[in-house]
Structure 1
Amino acid sequence: MPSLFSKGLILYKTAVTVAFSPKYLLCTNILLSMGISTCGDVLEQMYEIETKQQASWDVERTGQMAFSGSTAGYLCHYWYIFLDKRIIGKSFGMVIKKFVLDQFICSPIIILSFFATVAIFEEHPIDNLTEEVSDKFWTLYKAEWVVWPPAQIINFYLLPTRYRVVYDNTVSLGYDIYTSHIKHAKPSKEEEEEENSDESET
């Protein structure tokens, strides 16, 4: 048994070393981000089914969230490489610079890419994208300022570049559940009545 455990541990360490090597890091980051986004949507749908907000699991919706997650993994992979090459060091000032750039540049881009990649699969993608960004962008962006400031300061201060995306994904499962909820939330009865009233007036 100890020998089997030792061999398993060696195999695990080898797999991690290979997965986070420069050769495979992009693929690892994309697959991790896709997996976490998928998991977040599945958990959110399970809750919605349990609370009778929807009848059954929407496989297409989960596929869309997975595709969106892969895009986020791709963008974050290159963003962290760029950021760590341009701002070198782990002093408090350097960490704050990275955090500010991340929140004001990368975060809005990731949110916009999320709406854009999901809109691709919907009818009238341009109209839907415009409406979704107008209605929901600021909700998600404000949530980013709650979740990510402490998380990213730890990320930039303690972790090497190759582990930044996997750390992000570890933190972001709860945020991904919230993102899925915001994206697919149905309008309230009051909002539907107001929308119908506006349409009848026009």
Structure 2
Amino acid sequence: MAGRLLGKRLAHFLERFHQAAFSPKYLFYTNIGISVGLSMVGDAMEQTYEKMVGEIPEWNRTRTVRMGISGLTVGVVCHYWYQYLDYHYPQRTLKTVIIKILLDQFICSPFYMAVFFLTMAVLEDTTWEELKQEIREKALILYAAEWTVWPVAQLINFLLLKPQYRVLYDNTISLGYDIFTSQVKYRKKPTEEVEPKKGK
């Protein structure tokens, strides 16, 4: 009896939390929290793998925090980008969804990656020349990966999901992509004080 009552109270609490978190009043903060949290989880998972195969000696907390901060900046981009798309293209017809997918791939994806690299460059005190070189080496790899994942993922997002769940869905799908992003970002990275050199 006590267990059933506790279960009902917990369910009631979760329902109220869900309604508040995804309400227009708090949705921005929810989306930012999701983006930061899952970016850090993705990097932690990638570092766990790198440590397991001997590429790094230990988990680099600074790197994970930096990836979380990058999640904050790109989370802001995603929040307002989806609002823009849903405001200007509210229909759920196949034609409208395809337009939104193409806009997402050709406009938001490159901008998203630019924000990511710029954020990390600021956090790592990277020079402008180093930033340009990193973009030349890594941006195309990440953008090609975007085309293998996101057109189909966004078809589901734009066609089936309610607008308030877009960033949550985006970040859930992004978890695997964030692991890949972390791997590409820190591939063959020179030795730094807070970032041990990997064995590749």
Normalising by structure 2, what TM-score? 0.91
The answer for the alignment partner of 2:72 in structure 1 is: 70
Identity of aligned residues (%): 46
2 CA distance for matches of 1:108 and 1:66? 19
Structure 1 contact 122–128 (Cα < 8 Å) conserved: no
1:54 is the counterpart of 2:60? no
2 CA distance for matches of 1:123 and 1:169? 27
Structure 1 contact 45–57 (Cα < 8 Å) conserved: yes
2 CA distance for matches of 1:94 and 1:56? 47
2 CA distance for matches of 1:125 and 1:158? 43
The answer for the alignment partner of 1:82 in structure 2 is: 84
Q: Which has the higher contact order (CA 8 A, sep 6+)?
A: 2
1 CA distance for matches of 2:48 and 2:130? 25
The answer for the alignment partner of 1:34 in structure 2 is: 36
Match of 1:183 among 174, 182, 185: 185
2 CA distance for matches of 1:123 and 1:78? 28
Once superposed, which parts of structure 1, at least 4 consecutive aligned residues long, lie more than 3 Å away? Answer: none
Task: Map residues 1-202 of structure 1 onto 2, 5 A cutoff.
Answer: 1-186=3-188
Letter paired with 1:113: V
The aligned length equals: 187
Shift of 1:159: 1.1
Structure 1 contact 36–173 (Cα < 8 Å) conserved: yes
- Structure number with larger C-alpha Rg: 1
Q: Deviations over 1:95-115 (max 9, x none)?
A: 101000001000111111111
SS of 2:123's equivalent in the other structure is coil
Shift of 1:125: 3.3
Letter paired with 2:51: I
The answer for the alignment partner of 2:194 in structure 1 is: none
Shift of 1:166: 0.2
Ranges in structure 2 where 5+ consecutive residues have no aligned partner: 190-200
1 CA distance for matches of 2:117 and 2:82? 22
User: Greater share of helix residues, 1 or 2?
Assistant: 1
2 CA distance for matches of 1:136 and 1:43? 20
Ranges in structure 1 where 5+ consecutive residues have no aligned partner: 188-202
1 CA distance for matches of 2:103 and 2:29? 25
Normalising by structure 1, what TM-score? 0.90
1 CA distance for matches of 2:75 and 2:127? 22
